[in-house]
Amino acid sequence: MDCCVYKIICLTNGRIYIGSAKNFITRKKSHLKLLRKGTHHSRHLQNSFNKYGIRNFEFSIIEFCTLEDRWNREQYYLDTLLPEFNVLKNATGGYLPLI
């Protein structure tokens, strides 16, 4: 089971981003590629990344889940943790292909 809900935390200010992925490693690489290019869909995450640098960000898996339960589990964490970096507040698979 590779499917999971994950978070990105800025260690400097404590703000977080919540997401889910079929493959965490692939999704992490996708986030980092966009952040390094300066084109991440979350303007607030991009601004913090630009200001504090990659060393101040941590990616971690919150929970492994089934593919069928992926959106429900992501929504639970969006509602519970109230992440500041998320543009969308609903777990819909928003911006990128379902990685």
Q: What is the pLDDT of residues 44-97, one digit of tens each?
A: 999 999 999 999 999 999 999 999 999 999 999 999 999 999 988 787 765 544
Q: How far is residue 85's CA from residue 41's CA, in Å, rounded to a whole number?
A: 10
Each residue's pLDDT tens digit, 22-59: 999 999 999 999 999 999 999 999 999 999 999 999 99
Whether the model pTM is above 0.75 = yes
Give the pLDDT confidence score for residue 94 in this predicted structure. Answer: 55
Q: CA separation (Å) from 44 to 3, 49, 51, 86?
A: 26, 9, 11, 8
Q: How far is residue 95's CA from residue 99's CA, in Å, rounded to a whole number?
A: 11
Going by C-alpha positions, the residue among 21, 37, 45 that lies closest to residue 96 is: 21
